[in-house]
Amino acid sequence: MTDFSPADGDPAGRTIRLLELLAARPDWSASDLAGRLEVSTRTVRRDVARLQSLGYAVESRPGPGGHYALRPGRRMLPLVFQDDEVVALVAALRMVEGILAGDAAPRALAKLSQVLPRRLRAVLDTAAAGSESVGGERGGVEPSTLAVLLRAADQDLVLRFGYRDRHGAASRRRVEAVRCFYARGRWYVLAHDLDAGDWRVFRLDRVREPEAGEPGSGDRGRPAADLATWLATDFGRRPEG
């Protein structure tokens, strides 16, 4: 979990910290919040009341010393990050630059720079200026293709798409997608091939015109609890090395 630092007596900064903490987990005791913010529980109650007056849906829950939780309300949380989270975003977008076609990653980076507070903008701009994505096959996966496959995997939908294997042979596939995953510089989709009756792994840069259709079986599950081991052992056909 992020190490939330105290707000050094600044009420506005402390309120933002309080929002971050409340959003980080479903329930907090007043004493835990006071310890994180380095204030008294009375100050916590006052800050919670301030958030409630501003329209944030912070609810009090019964329990020794008082408990607080943030639930969806009329107002959205401000976009707030810690320094390490900003660096993580830049690193992730740099990785995406070498994988996705188009300019979605640099556009996202530019928009983040525009909306972040001045100090965090400096952190982001420094990280962006000091990094780049090089090497490998660039721009192999269309963002729209990844979006369709992610939705199918999340909602258990049957997928139909064209596919070209490593030998260049083209085919049409009808599968139930289970999980999209990133490994060794590429995106893949793990799916149960409905025509072959077996599990398959497809490279996303070889997928063409995917279409998400009707609901899948609903009980497909996974071929193994640990996908990394399953993949490393030739789909579970040989023992671990």
Q: What is the pLDDT of residue 134?
A: 76
pLDDT at 135: 62
Alpha-carbon gap, residue 95 to 88, rounded angstroms: 11
For 68, residues 6+ apart whose C-beta sits below 8 A from its C-beta are 22, 27, 28, 29, 30, 33, 44, 48, 58, 59, 60, 61
Within this chain, do residues 210 and 152 fall inside the same structural domain, yes or no?
A: yes
Burial category of 186 from C-beta neighbours within 10 Å (exposed 0-12, middle 13-18, buried 19 and up) = middle
Q: What is the pLDDT of residue 171?
A: 95
Residue with tokens 């190490």: 3
**Closest Cα partner for 88 from 49, 133, 52, 128?**
128
Q: Are residues 190 and 158 in the same domain?
A: yes
Last residue of a domain, one of 28, 49, 70: 70
Same domain assignment for residues 116 and 158: no
In a domain, 1, yes or no: no
Coil/strand/helix, residue 215: strand
Residue 66: its pLDDT value, please?
77
Dihedral pair phi/psi, residue 79, rounded to 5° = -80, 100
pTM: 0.63
Can you give the CATH number for the domain in which 167 is found?
A: 2.30.30.520
Residue 194 belongs to domain spanning: 143-232
CB 185 within 8 A of CB 136: yes
Q: Note whether 202 and 176 are same-domain residues.
A: yes
Residue 40 lies in a domain: yes
210 lies in some domain: yes
CATH code for the domain of 24: 1.10.10.10
Count of structural domains within the chain: 3
Do residue 33 and residue 101 come from a single domain? no
**In this structure, are 225 and 194 located in the same domain?**
yes
DSSP 59: E
Q: What is the pLDDT along the chain (241 residues), one digit of tens a residue?
A: 344 444 446 777 788 889 888 888 888 999 999 999 999 999 999 999 988 887 788 888 776 667 899 886 545 555 678 889 999 999 999 888 878 888 888 899 998 888 887 888 899 999 999 988 776 555 578 888 889 999 998 988 999 999 999 999 999 999 998 888 888 778 899 999 999 999 999 999 999 999 998 988 877 778 888 888 888 887 777 776 5
